[in-house]
Structure 1
Amino acid sequence: MGKLKELREKRATVFGEIDELRKTTDGREMTADEQQRWDALLADYDNADRKVGQEERFEEMERRQAEQAFERQQSAEGKDDGTEYRGAFVEYLAKGEQGVSAENRKLFESRAGLSGLAGGVLVPSSLANSIEKALKSYGGMLEAGNVFSTATGGDLIMPTVNDTSSRASVVAEYQKSTQKAPSFGSETLKAYTYRTPIVPVSLELLQDSSFDLESLLAELLSESFGRGMNEDLTIGNGTGKPKGIINWATASDASPAAAAIKLDDIIDLIKSVDSNYAKNGRFMFNRETLYSLVKIKDTTGRYIWQEGAKDGTPPTLFAKPYTLNDDMPNIGAGNASVLFGDFSKFKIRMVKDFRIIRLNELLAEYLSIGIFGFARLDGLLLNAGTHPIKKMVHAGS
């Protein structure tokens, strides 16, 4: 047991005795013996607290001394930790877990953000971050939605409550108040596993120590992740995969024609979303729909996109931003081509981080290894009953 932990436990024990005595004598005067014990316990607590503070201060000083010594050593040796780590990672990929030198193994174990070498799995934190950034710029759902991580993949219950119909009212003196229970509900987030295709990497390529391996893997794997995840988070049917936002969203009052959108349709879509959601609202549509919307003019003949382009700010629709998502349906009969609302209510649950798996034997005859990635996620629209995101559905043909 560490010294600081032991001191903290002693302090907690004294506090427990103080609290017990306080509860025992609550509402009455302490006896002489109780008062004497009370004073002694307070003195013991002050003494224990002082020792804890001293030990905490010492450990902080010790930590700073260690950091400064490490920095001096790195400066003296002239080594770049990032370069060392990259070389160690290449050695792992080229030689496998058992082929990593003792020196590089220590480097792996001491580096933060690394999942370890067990089971052939190695996750450099820099690589996971670069993949995440590429995903956000690829599809649209991870950019617009509210992404959060969990440590495990069990079902996650997201509670909801709707009390919007409850109103205060005038009640005469000595009259009973009315009773009305809020409407509680819940939605469940699961954890669906996505795997990329296997990427073969030649051992000759890995032997080139100057090769930027992280950038290569980020480029190869992120597009595959992005395509699969974004499509399902947009239009997934919820059967063995996430239910997409198109299927979560509620149809608006807008009723555009089967093959076109008018300015009035955009206005009706915005109007159909409650003001509390609309103030943080944004649009979502694909590129084809964007080009159609750019052509819309107001009653004075001005393009509705003109204001944003004129002052150099990003284009907007009625001062609301938009997200491009090419998995959104095109304008067409029965399609939901435009979404509007508060996308922070669309929750995207990721389990831990991305993982990269190394396959040693699959491509050995080609002097190559196989690498693939996987991630677990699900998404839902947290709707307590007042529909934070609405969709514009075109008339049938």
Structure 2
Amino acid sequence: MKHFKQPVRGLVGVRADASTDIKALIEEQGKAFHAFKEAHTKELEDLKKGMGDVVQSEQVDRINNSVGDLQAAIDAANAKIAAMSLNGTGPDAVKDAEYTEAFKAHFSRGHIQASLNKGADDEGGYLAPIEWDRTITDKLVEVSAMRSIASVQNISTAGFTKLFNLRGTGSGWVGETAARPETNTPEFGTMTITPGEIYANPGATQGMLDDAAVDLESWLANEVQTEFAKQEGLAFVAGNGTNKPNGFLTYATGAANAAANPLGAIGVETAAATAAVTEDELLDLIYSLPSSYTNGARFVMNRTTMGKIRKLRDNDGRQLWQPSSVAGQPSQLLAYPVTEMPDMPDMATSTTPIAFGNFARGYLIVDRTGVRVLRDPYTAKPKVLFYTTKRVGGAVVDPQAIKVLQMDDGV
């Protein structure tokens, strides 16, 4: 039996080095994917001959996982590129230097200066300066898959109301001189997105804050983004709307919010198996999406599902999944981009592990303006806590733009 060298030894070091050239990652992934195809082909050939080998299957899985690790590293690098492109003013452009410096002084020592008062609000704490808010937002774009593909709306009110044109305008054919009676007028529907509050409460010793070498903005962003991104990611996929966003899967036919949008529910395609999909089922999912939404459409699934999809082949023996080949572009499945979303469910009985659609048109994230920070030096002495909050909402605004694949119920 031919043995294939595992191509990505030392991957942790590759991912940890932020300066690694994305082109090098793509090149390494290309080699890994080539090794995967060879090993998988050999495995299939041996299975046909009745010569299946457990060791060989495990080796294929290891290489498959390595390809996934490299793809995750490439996706992370692409996300950083996307986050930088959203920041059009440049990293050194401080819009409000006086307030930023005053906030830093308060953050470090607790001194409230006159210029800090404009950041006060009636809920306690102070609004973070523009640069801090932007840093945290960039971090969230990097780590939150949904934020990178959905639409985001900033608001300064308690909620956001979306107006829907339900059409219904009447019309008819008439002769040149015939009467033209009044026709039906269009109907409108509304849906309100109310932000919930997400929080993090990182702590630091006063000694750390006194250290001039500490980059306070980066420290806060790193502490906050981990918690915010974890909570947001789950809510954008499956949130129940109670003090949090409504996840897009809850709008699927038969789910809790199937009747919440005036335009109806997200359409569902059904797989024949409980833990596997076929090329035809993926094609059915693609073609169930109206053609007006396909420009910008993508697949969404978690890492485990991606590993299974990577093994699918067409009738000519070619993999349906293709790795990234150009910086800034994700992997592709049947010529459409694939976004890894950790909070999507695994393939199992009755779950919906794969979605396809134009999420920029289908899902809207609503950010209540500003990140608020409350400095608390008393609760956890000798640490100083920084109670950081942000109001975030989310909902499906166009269910026609997204489709989901549901696994068989096993009955």
> Normalization by structure 2: what TM-score?
0.66
Cα distance in 1, alignment partners of residues 351 and 366 from structure 2: 27
**2:108 paired residue number:** 94
Q: CA 1:83–1:293 in structure 2 vs 1: closer, same or farther (change >3 Å)? A: same
Q: Which amino acid aligns with 2:393?
A: D
Q: C-alpha distance in 2, partners of 1:82/1:207?
A: 23
Are 1:218 and 2:221 matched, yes or no?
Answer: yes
Separation in structure 1 between the aligned mates of residue 162 and residue 98 of structure 2, nearest angstrom: 44
Counterpart in the other structure of 2:178:
175
Task: Give the drift of 1:254.
Answer: 4.1
- Decide whether aligned partners of structure 1 residues 181 and 300 sit closer, same or farther in structure 2, where only a CA change above 3 A counts: farther
Q: What per-residue deviation string (whole Å, max 9, x for no partner) do you get for residues 149-175 of structure 1?
A: 11122x322111133x87976533333
Alpha-carbon distance in structure 1 between the residues aligned to 2:180 and 2:341: 50
1:283-337 per-position Cα deviation (integer Å, ceiling 9, x unaligned): 211111111111111121100124x556775422233222211011111111111
Hey, what's the Cα distance between the residues in 2 that align with 1:230 and 1:314?
A: 19
* Residue in 1 that maps onto 2:403: 390
1:73-113 Cα shifts (integer Å, max 9, x gaps) = xxxxxxx9999987754432233134x5xxxx55x57xxxx
Q: Deviations over 1:36-55 (max 9, x none)?
A: xxxxxxxxxxxxxxxxxxxx
Are positions 1:242 and 2:256 aligned together? no
Whichever residue aligns with residue 323 of structure 1, its letter is T
Amino acid at match of 2:333: L
Give 2:192's aligned residue: 188
Match in the other structure for 1:280? 296
Q: Which residue of 2 aligns with 1:124?
A: 129
Q: CA 1:389 to 1:297, structure 2 compared with 1: closer, same or farther past 3 Å?
A: same
Distance 1:84 1:162 in 2: 49
**Paired residue for 1:151?**
156
Q: Is the 8 A contact 1:252 1:391 kept in 2?
A: yes
1:232 has 2:255 as partner: no
Secondary structure of 1:257 counterpart: coil
Contact 1:336 1:391 in 2 (8 A): yes
Tell me by how many angstroms 1:282 deviates.
Answer: 1.5
**Root-mean-square deviation (Å):** 2.9
Is residue 145–residue 341 contact of structure 2 (8 Å, CA) maintained in 1?
Answer: yes
2:375 is the counterpart of 1:350: no
Q: CA deviation at 1:393?
A: 0.7
1:281–1:340 contact (8 Å) kept in structure 2: yes
Q: What is the identity, as a one-letter code, of the residue corresponding to 1:130?
A: T
Letter in 2 for 1:194: I
Could you say which residue in structure 2 is the equivalent of 1:206?
209
> 1:24 matched to which residue of 2?
none
Structure 1 spans left out of the alignment, 5+ residues = 1-79
Equivalent residue for 2:284, pick from 256, 259, 268:
268
Unaligned runs of 5+ in 2: 1-93, 253-265
Any idea what SS the aligned residue of 2:385 has? strand
Provide the C-alpha distance between the structure 1 equivalents of 2:141 and 2:318, rounded to a whole number of angstroms. 33
With 262-271 and 248-257 compared, the bigger mean Cα shift is at 248-257
- Cα distance between partner residues in 2 of 1:262 and 1:177: 54
Looking at structure 2, the residues matched to 315 and 160 of structure 1 have their Cα atoms a distance apart, in angstroms, of 34
| Identity across matched positions, percent | 25
4+ runs of 1 displaced by more than 4 Å?
Answer: 80-90, 116-120, 165-170, 308-313
What amino acid is the match of 1:92?
H
TM-score by length of structure 1 reads: 0.68
C-alpha distance in 2 between matches for 1:235 and 1:88:
40
For 1:248 and 1:213, the matched residues in 2 are separated by: 40
For 1:233 and 1:311, how far apart are their aligned partners in 2? 28
1:360 corresponds to: 377
